[in-house]
Amino acid sequence: EAQVTQNPRYLITVTGKKLTVTCSQNMNHEYMSWYRQDPGLGLRQIYYSMNVEVTDKGDVPEGYKVSRKEKRNFPLILESPSPNQTSLYFCASSLTGQSNQPQHFGDGTRLSIL
Amino acid sequence: GDSVTQMEGPVTLSEEAFLTINCTYTATGYPSLFWYVQYPGEGLQLLLKATKADDKGSNKGFEATYRKETTSFHLEKGSVQVSDSAVYFCALSDMGTGNQFYFGTGTSLTVIP
């Protein structure tokens, strides 16, 4: 089954404790992206990647890191999480980075930073 | 910069009512436009898309027409069902801004029997 898989689905942690949210897709997609969803703000793009070893900042990259060492994986790293990073996070992928390509989304990761 | 402005909700309709959710956009290039739907506890799913002016996207009874002259992409459905209850997001992707995606704030729809 074609899918985007995120782990964990839920995480409660404390300020400053490094964490990684994994994202993997099995569709051989070139383009991958991370979003955060906050009430009243919709989805905002954090980082995206056009292909292996190519990453770019989205609208809200501060406090986040990403890497794209393999085509299928695009982990999101919070080196020193803070409470304002409490949010619902989505990973997405699309076949290419062309604007007419729709994105396929994972089921989301709910992070709570205390 | 690019942006999407979406009708605020929540919207509550009776079954079989007509639905319109307004969406307007600002873009520097030639964007593609999308509607996504999010059911509770799930990720977003593509509902429909349009890639150039005057294109009409349609799926599951929903329609939206890419209107360049009014920079709009309003979502419509002639007769909603309880199963259409979800959050709807308008979005754009613009090659002119480096392959970024921009989403509206989402509109929550509840359909009551």
pLDDT of amino acid B97 = 59
Chain A's closest residue to B93, CA to CA, is A99
B53 touches chain A (CB under 8 A): no
Measure the CA–CA gap between A9 and A2, rounded to whole angstroms.
18
Q: Check if the beta carbon of residue B48 is closer than 8 Å to that of residue B58.
A: yes
Asked if pLDDT for residue B84 goes beyond 70, the answer is yes
Measure the CA–CA gap between A85 and A62, rounded to whole angstroms.
10
Cβ contacts below 8 Å, chain A against chain B, sum to 68
Is B45 close to A40, i.e. CB distance below 8 A? no
List residues bridging with A35 in a β-sheet: A45, A90
pLDDT tier for residue A99 given thresholds of 50, 70 and 90 = confident
Q: Looking at chain A from residue 56 to 75, which residues have their Cβ under 8 Å from any Cβ of chain B?
A: 56, 58-59
Cβ-based contacts of B30 with chain A (< 8 Å): 99
Tell me the mean pLDDT in the region B12-34. Answer: 94
Cβ-based contacts of B4 with chain A (< 8 Å): 42
Residue A74 gets which letter from DSSP? -
pLDDT digit string, tens, across residues B42-59? 889 999 999 999 999 999
Q: Edge-to-edge, what's the strand order for the sheet holding A76-78?
A: A4-7, A19-25, A76-78, A65-66
B107 touches chain A (CB under 8 A): no
pLDDT digit string, tens, across residues A15-71? 999 999 999 999 999 999 999 999 888 899 999 999 998 999 999 999 999 999 999
Mean of the per-residue pLDDT values of chain A: 94
B103 touches chain A (CB under 8 A): yes
Q: Name the minimum distance, in Å, from the CA of A2 to any CA of chain B.
A: 13
Q: How many percent of chain B have pLDDT more than 90?
A: 78
pLDDT of amino acid B100 = 80
Is B99 close to A102, i.e. CB distance below 8 A? no
Asked if pLDDT for residue B99 goes beyond 80, the answer is no
pLDDT of amino acid B7 = 84
